[in-house]
A and B are shown apart, each in its own frame.
Chain A
Amino acid sequence: MQEKYFPDMEKIESDIENKILKIADNIDFSQYSENDVKKAIKTENCSIQDFCALISPAAKKFIEEIATKAKSERERYFGKNVYFFTPLYISNYCENHCIYCGFNCKNNIKRAKLDLDEIENELIAIKKTGLEEILILTGESRKMSDVNYIANATKLAKKYFKNIGLEIYPLNTNEYNILHESGADYITVFQETYDKKEYTKNHLKGHKSIYSYRINAQERALKGNMRGAGFGALLGLGDYKKDTLATALHIHFLQKKYPKSEFAVSVPRLRPTIANADINPKNIGELELLQIMCAYRIFLPYINMTISTRERAEFRNNAVKIAATKISAGVSTGIGEHAQKKEGDNQFEIADPRSVEEIYTALKNIDMQPVMNEYVWV
């Protein structure tokens, strides 16, 4: 059944959603045996079937072997490099009703939107920490943070930072192009869950309730000349194995269609919020999380992978050795915390509050190489 788009939503011709769901909706992970897992670890070119075996329950007891394989793939593509960035939240107004999210429009939290002067103060404060890559985030409100506002923030960020990514509500192709021209080159959109039923249950109103418009966001961004796109499912919302498979397929099929583009994945687990301290990622422990990360690294060895401050410091230090390539540092998920007094509440609680310097030193101590920038705007 075709969803009813909002009038301002662009429709593109794309077979990506069908391709993903045809596989992800019909998967049975219990069919994979230990032998399938062993074969998946051994094989040189990891297939979709091999990937399924790697995230299946049968693979859990092979985590050491899987991690060893993932580490060698990581080294082959990225060597010792670990890329640093930090998120900058510029507005937390939101029109969506996502029942797990701290910014959800029904939550009674302190809302704020930084004006351009305040954004510049934040940028200057972050720049002082030595970072050169920034990820600008907004809550999902076209009214309160329109494309022009984000474009102006991007242009300001360009004055101080070499690499600018955006994690904002999904846009149309021409709007992505405006933001590209303003200086941003990477777009991240989390699908949250690829399971349509779960998606509908969790996204009760607003633009975000339209599943198909969201799933095609990365493709519109690439059509709008962005260099790369980021993906992720919010682990714990739906069946995490199905969501992990669907995320991987999303990247796999888009890479085939847009081979020159760059791709990145995040692996956020559900976290408690101010409005709901009991939210947790249910059956996804650190073992399962590492299993997912390693499977991504083996199936899609060329992609960047971000490890979030949702995880504790020791897990993050080890994750970047084995599978992840990007780490956020000096993180605040509230509005205006870097330079001024805090104006708006946080999206979620973080588990790794370390500064840039602290994480830099910690990674050097484990023989990894922090990299502040490996990008040039052309």
Chain B
Amino acid sequence: MEDKFKIGKYEFKSRFILGSGKYNLELIKSAIENANAEIITMALRRINTDTDNILDYIPKNIKILPNTSGARNSDEALRIALIARELSNADMIKIEVIKDSKYLLPDNYETTKAVEKLANNGFIPMPYMYPDLTAARDMQNAGAACIMPLGAPIGTNKGLLTKDFIKILIEEIDLPIIVDAGIGKPSQAAEAMEMGATAVMANTAIATSSDINNMAKAFKLAIEAGRLAYLSKFGKVNNLAQASSPLTGFLR
């Protein structure tokens, strides 16, 4: 059986979601090919242009995932989503509601409200969030199609700083968990996949490397390896030696 996952009504095979905001546009197409990505995210505010539109550089079979960056509250997120639908026909929307210009950390409270507003308007909401179980449950109840917790502050390449909290989401939330932001190396992407994350999103790590195509490929391979390891179930790591005569061996 093929290993696929679903977001809303759509099915995907590739577990690598590519960010697009930091590239030289000519390089995007080959990055997508080397990453073998099926979904690419982009800021709506970035496609709100008449010159050098990033949409013109993306192959038609790739699913466009506009994000609402620039939104500072749920109403603005909805307005941006509506413009995105007009400009690119998109129905999947990555919700970003950010009230901090320095660290660009998401506002879980406003994001939850945005999920509800977008779901009520026929969108497939994909909220970017700080990994908090209660907030994730609220987002699920509000109609989220997946949960996108951050691994580390965006652009930092620091990896899975929030690992334990993402694990909790993976265990408790019955939606795809897509680790978004902070992933700086293929090994970190592999680690997220080994934990049971559904998919990984990366942008800065690839866009700012000096060999974009090979870095995209390295991420693709790491994500596939991590996924395969997760599916194969790990052998248990034991800290203590196994006693040769078990303590409870006397039981009849």
Contacts and interface: CB of A to CB of B under 8 A. Distances in A.
Partners in one complex: yes
A78 B23 CA distance: 9
A375 B45 contact: yes
A378 interface: yes
Contacts of A130: 50-51
Nearest to A260: B99
B66 to A, nearest CB: 11
A69 interface: no
A132 B45 CA distance: 12
Interface in A110-169: 130, 132, 162
Interface string B69-103: 01110001001100100000000000000111110
B44 interface: yes
A371 interface: yes
Contact of A76 (B51, B76, B155): B155
Interface string B143-171: 00000000000011100000000000000
Interface size band for B: 20 to 34
A77 B155 contact: yes
B52 interface: yes
A369 interface: yes
Interface string B19-46: 0011111000000000000000001111
Dominant secondary structure of chain B at its interface with chain A: loop
A259 B99 contact: yes
A156 B23 CA distance: 33
A250 to B, nearest CB: 15
In this complex, which of B100, B101, B104 has the most chain A Cβ atoms within 10 angstroms of its Cβ? B101
Contacts of B70: 375-376, 378
Contacts of A367: 24
Interface string B87-125: 000000000001111101000000000000000000000
Contact of B101 (A78, A81, A162, A255): A255
Contacts of B80: 376, 378
A376 B44 contact: yes
Nearest to B71: A378
A255 B98 CA distance: 14
A32 interface: no
Nearest to B20: A79
B141 interface: no
A372 interface: yes
Contact of B24 (A76, A162, A369): A369
A376 B83 contact: yes
Nearest to B98: A260
A106 B188 CA distance: 64
Given A130-B51, A371-B52, A376-B45, A302 B23 contact: no
Interface in A328-378: 367-376, 378
Ordered nearest first, which 9 A-B pairs have the shortest CB separation?
A79-B22, A260-B99, A376-B45, A373-B49, A378-B76, A372-B51, A75-B208, A76-B155, A259-B100
Given A79-B21, A132-B50, A375-B70, 4 more contacts: A76-B208, A81-B22, A370-B52, A374-B48
Interface of A: 75-81, 130, 132, 162, 255, 259-263, 302, 367-376, 378
Interface of B: 21-25, 43-46, 48-52, 70-72, 76, 79-80, 83, 98-102, 104, 155-157, 204, 207-208
16 contacts: A76-B156, A79-B21, A80-B24, A81-B21, A81-B22, A132-B51, A162-B48, A162-B49, A259-B102, A260-B72, A302-B102, A371-B52, A372-B52, A373-B45, A376-B45, A376-B83
